[in-house]
Amino acid sequence: MKNKISREFKIGLFSILIIGGLYLSVNYINSNSIFSSNKTFYAVFNSADGLEASAPVITKGFRIGTVEKVEFNLQKQDITVKFSVLKEYPIAQGSTVKITTDGLMGGQIIELSFAPHTNAHYKDNDTIPSVFEPSIMQMASTEYSSIRKKLQYYDLKIDSLLTGLNGVVSPKNISALSKTFSNLENTTTNLNSLLERKTENIASIIENIDKLSTELAKVMPSFNHTMKNIAMATDSLPDLLTNGKNSFKELQILLQQINDADGNISKLIKDDKLYENLTVSMKNLSLLIDDVKTNPKKYINVTVFEKRTFEQKMKEKEAKAEYKAKQKNK
């Protein structure tokens, strides 16, 4: 009977040792601190993002604690995370915690950002402020949604473009395009043949243009001289206008004298008696001239006229004789 109890005791004691060893092993794996005392803190998040108990608490890549519990508050609709930190790392007030990803393919962890060291520190069971930082998967999911919307938009555009292309490349349109290209080819051929036939005419036209340029170069000096004369005439135009103005002033003075009632010209023009006397005098003078022509002997002594003529002739002969004598002496 005694041997039987001793055996059961041994079995129980062995089981207790095994369970204790497993517990210590799990705690060592999760926290790397079995016998050291830790401080417990809390943090509240809007989303756990897949965070689980036993996740590490790190700062700058170094593990300083362990997540002990993750709970969902139904009333407040938030997540409360309980975690422990080694007591040799006091947390200064102003420090924050956030949920982040351990590497590209790692799990979710708690990252602690220490505030500058002060005398005020968080105590055991205090709640540390939390900050939100989107994880890589969340950013990838957001970018994927945006890219997906853009791809859907471009898919619709490509679909409409392909539909339009299908309409353009229909057999009817292809046949029309073939005819168009054929007509264009014929037009190009005709244009080439026309240019070949008209090459000589084009060459002659170019030659005529060269001749015309040469003639223009010859004419340009005369044209420049003409332009200079026009410029000189333009320069003398102010003097001509000044002379015209002076003549116009003199004409105005003459017209004023004619219009002046006391002036001689006005009296000569406006006096009727003077006009009648002049008319009578002109008539008498005309009659006298006619009578002189008809009866010249009545008014001129012929002998005296002839004597004077003979004397003039003698004087002319003497003058000629003296001129010839002078010429001989020379």
Q: In what order do the strands lie in the sheet with 38-45?
A: 38-45, 78-86, 62-73, 56-59, 108-113, 96-101
The CB-side HSE value for 319 (13 A sphere, CA atoms) comes to 6
What global pTM score does this model have?
0.36
Tokens 């054929």, residue located: 182
Q: How far apart are CA 147 and CA 233, in angstroms?
A: 84
Q: Is the dihedral of CA 317, 323, 326, 330 positive or negative?
A: negative
The CB-side HSE value for 248 (13 A sphere, CA atoms) comes to 6
pLDDT for the residue 79: 93
Q: How far apart are CA 243 and CA 266, in angstroms?
A: 27
Instruction: State both tokens at 327.
Output: 């010429």
Instruction: State both tokens at 208.
Output: 């005529």
pLDDT for the residue 296: 67
Phi, psi of 262 (to 5 degrees): -85, -10
Burial pattern 241-279, b for ≥16 Cβ within 10 A else e, equals eeeeeeeeeeeeeeeeeeeeeeeeeeeeeeeeeeeeeee
pLDDT for the residue 18: 87
Contacts of 64 (CB under 8 A, 6+ apart): 57, 58, 85, 86, 89, 112
Q: Where are the domains of the chain?
A: 1-35, 36-133, 135-195, 272-312
Please check whether residue 137 is in contact with residue 143, taking contact to mean a CB–CB distance below 8 angstroms.
no
The CB-side HSE value for 310 (13 A sphere, CA atoms) comes to 6
pLDDT for the residue 215: 79
pLDDT for the residue 2: 47
pLDDT for the residue 141: 57
Q: Looking at this protein, which amino acid is placed at residue 298?
A: K
Which of the four CATH numbers 3.30.360.10, 2.60.40.10, 2.40.30.110, 3.40.50.720 does domain 36-133 have? 2.40.30.110
Per-residue pLDDT tens, the chain, 330 aa: give them.
Answer: 444 557 777 788 878 888 888 877 766 555 444 455 789 999 999 988 889 999 999 999 899 999 999 999 999 899 999 999 999 999 999 999 999 988 666 789 999 999 987 889 999 999 999 998 765 555 555 566 677 777 777 777 787 777 776 666 667 767 777 778 778 888 888 777 777 776 777 777 887 888 887 877 777 777 777 777 777 767 766 776 777 777 777 777 777 766 666 666 666 666 667 667 777 777 777 777 777 677 766 656 544 444 456 667 777 778 778 877 777 776
**H-run or E-run covering 80:** strand 78-86
